[in-house]
Amino acid sequence: MKNNVVRIGSRGSDLALWQARWVEGQLRQRNPSVVVTISVLKTKGDKLLDSPLSKIGDKGLFTREIENALLDNRIDVAVHSLKDLPTGLPEGLSLGAICEREDVHDVFIPHPGNKARTLRGQPPGAVIATGSLRRKCQLLHARPDLKTIDLRGNLSTRFAKLASSDWAGMILAHAGVVRLGWEGRVGEVISTEDILPAVGQGALGIEIRAGDDATVEIVDCLADDASTLATSAERALLRRLEGGCQVPIGAYARLEDSGSEKDRLVIDAMVGSLDGASIVRGRRAGDPARAEEIGRGLAEDLLARGADQILRNIRAIDGPYESA
């Protein structure tokens, strides 16, 4: 940060810009003397729209170019959907804040002409669009009679593709749908018992240069303690499993009332095969101060109960694997 100016870097999609502008507004509101600017940067994931995410790799797919701008001192703050941010950050960068989390659930968006509003209400053979192996795995595990088709692009593009298709509907993250005002199109908010969300889903991660004390002080006001603890457990689990969008992994951690003076942290997680035939799912709970330890512990439980073999099978198909 120079001369009281904070330079934010963001992807150029409507959702990414909404997120960057939200951060801009919060910083200006809480630090009136600070000048905030936004620079739009295009990432590899924004350029390669014709291939499934699982086929083009996921280490820094939506973050690397923005992180390079941070390292080159062209920006001071990078605003990411936390689910896009790899658990291992480049040397010289750190996670400055995790903002208060929006709803973590996925939602089913039915085709405008489809009167069946829920996933369970779809007939056998119905086509559901999703670009996520995690969603596909859990959907097919519950409903192997359904068909899936890959879907990528920003939210506006996805809604347009759905309207011009013969699909029954599509699955999206509720957080993005709410932020861009598409709530009226939601047919069903999907229970986490049916589909666990992506690690970090619904939260914003604020990435900064390590040792940039002036920026640390500025972005600290964005941090939310409960969201930080929950997502720290999820990211510790993902780091131990060495997973990303090439592997069907879901997790949901939250603070729950324990009936005593202190809340407890509860985390559910799953690892599944690409076809949804096999899923290993588990839960752990404990002291929120041990969030990362709880996440790693659940990862070890899943590995011991069969997730290790599922992951080996997936990596044998995909070839050399880069951990996220």
**pLDDT on residue 316:** 87
- Using pLDDT thresholds of 50, 70 and 90, give the confidence band for residue 322: very low
In a domain, 198, yes or no: no
In a domain, 236, yes or no: yes
Per the annotation, the verdict on 301 as an active-site residue is: no
Mean pLDDT for the chain?
Answer: 91
- Using pLDDT thresholds of 50, 70 and 90, give the confidence band for residue 44: low
In a domain, 324, yes or no: no
Catalytic residue of the set 84, 106, 212, 268: 84
Averaged pLDDT for residues 181-198: 97
**Percent of the chain at pLDDT exceeding 70:** 90
* Residue of higher predicted confidence among 149 and 321: 149
How many structural domains comprise the chain? 3
Are both 91 and 127 inside the same structural domain?
A: no
CATH number at residue 272: 3.30.160.40
CATH number at residue 119: 3.40.190.10
Q: Could you tell me the residue range of the domain that residue 302 belongs to?
A: 231-318
* Residue of higher predicted confidence among 57 and 79: 79
SS (H, E, C) the chain: CECCEEEEEECCCHHHHHHHHHHHHHHHHHCCCCEEEEEECCCHHHHCCCCCHHHHCCCCCCCHHHHHHHHCCCCCEEEEEHHHCCCCCCCCEEEEEECCCCCCCEEEEECCCCCCCCCCCCCCCCEEECCCHHHHHHHHHHCCCCEEECCCCCHHHHHHHHHCCCCCEEEEEHHHHHHCCCHHHCCEECCCCCCCCCCCCCCEEEEEECCCHHHHHHHHHHCCHHHHHHHHHHHHHHHHHCCCCCCCEEEEEEEECCCCCCCEEEEEEEEECCCCCCEEEEEEEECHHHHHHHHHHHHHHHHHHHHHHHHHHHHHHHCCCCCC
Are both 84 and 117 inside the same structural domain?
A: no
* Residue of higher predicted confidence among 74 and 259: 74
**pLDDT on residue 137:** 97
**pLDDT on residue 108:** 98
Q: Whole-structure pTM over 0.85, yes or no?
A: yes
324 pLDDT above the threshold of 60: no
